[in-house]
Amino acid sequence: MYRSASGDCEQETREEEAMKLGLACQEWGFFQLVNHGISDEVIERMKYEIQDQYSLELERIKSILLSSMSKNLGAEGLADMFKDGMQSVRINYYPPCHHSSKVLGLSPHSDGSGLTLLLQVNQVEGLQIKKNGRWLPIKPLSSAFIVNIDTLEIMSHGKYKSIEHRLVINPEKERMSITTFCMPRLDVGSRFNSQARGRK
C-alpha cells in the first residue's frame, strides 16, 4: 500500500513513502494507492454511476443495436449470443502535446471485441478511421456513441466491416473517452457464422 504525499506531509514522511513506492515497484509492480486527495464522495459517486447507471444503459443500447443487426443480416439471435458475454470498460485520457506531429496516441489497429461503443467525454477530435486508403477524422457529436464493428465482420461472413482506426494527439487540448468492449459468448461464434453464410 502506498500513501501519496499530500502538501502538509513532513519531509521525513515523504521520503519514507517514496521509499515504499520504490520497493513496491521493484519487488511487486503492483500496489494500492491511498491518501490520494480524491474524496470518498467523488469515488463512491463514480462507482455508483458506472455500476448502476452507465452499465444498465449500455446493456439496453447494445441489445437494440444487435437486434437490428440480426434482422439486417437475416440471422436470428445475435443479441442472445452476446448475453452473458464478457464486457469491459476502459476510460481513456490523452493529454495535449505541443509536438503532436511527432507522437501517436494509439497506433493503427482493429479491436478484438465483437462490438465497441465509445462515448466522448469532451468534444476534442483525435479518433481517425481508414477508408479507401485515407485517414478520416471522426467529429464527435454531443451525447452520441461511436460504434465500431469488430469481429462481427467474421460472424457476418464479411457483410459487416471491421475498420482500421487510430488515435492522434491534440496539440492544445486533452481528449477523454469511455470505451466499452462487448464480446459474444465463446460458444456461439461459429454457429452464427454458419447461419449468416447460409442466408448470404
pLDDT at 199: 47
CATH tag for 40-198 (out of 3.40.50.11720, 2.60.120.330, 3.40.30.10, 3.60.21.10): 2.60.120.330
Digit-by-digit pLDDT tens for the chain (200 residues) are: 555 555 554 677 888 888 888 888 888 877 788 888 889 999 898 888 887 788 888 888 998 999 899 888 887 777 888 888 888 889 899 999 888 777 778 888 888 788 899 999 888 899 999 999 999 999 988 888 999 988 888 888 888 888 899 999 989 999 999 999 998 887 765 555 555 444 44
Q: Which own/partner contact pairs does 52-56 have at CB distance under 8 Å and 24+ positions apart?
A: 54/89, 54/178, 55/89
* Predicted local confidence at residue 188, as pLDDT: 67
Domain borders along the chain are 2-34, 40-198
Nearest to residue 79, comparing CAs of 180, 185, 199? Answer: 185
Burial 127-150 (b: 16+ CB within 10 A, else e): bbbeeeeeeeeeebeeeebbebbb
What pLDDT was estimated at residue 137? 92
Exposed, middle or buried by CB within 10 Å (0-12, 13-18, 19+), for 78? buried
d(CA 124, CA 78): 33
Q: Which helix (DSSP H) or strand (DSSP E) does residue 106 occupy? A: strand 106-109
Backbone angles phi, psi at 74, to 5 degrees: 75, 25
Question: In the 8-state DSSP scheme, what is residue 138?
Answer: -
Predicted pLDDT of residue 174? 92
Q: Closest by alpha carbon to 114, among 76, 79, 138, 141?
A: 79
pTM exceeds 0.85: no
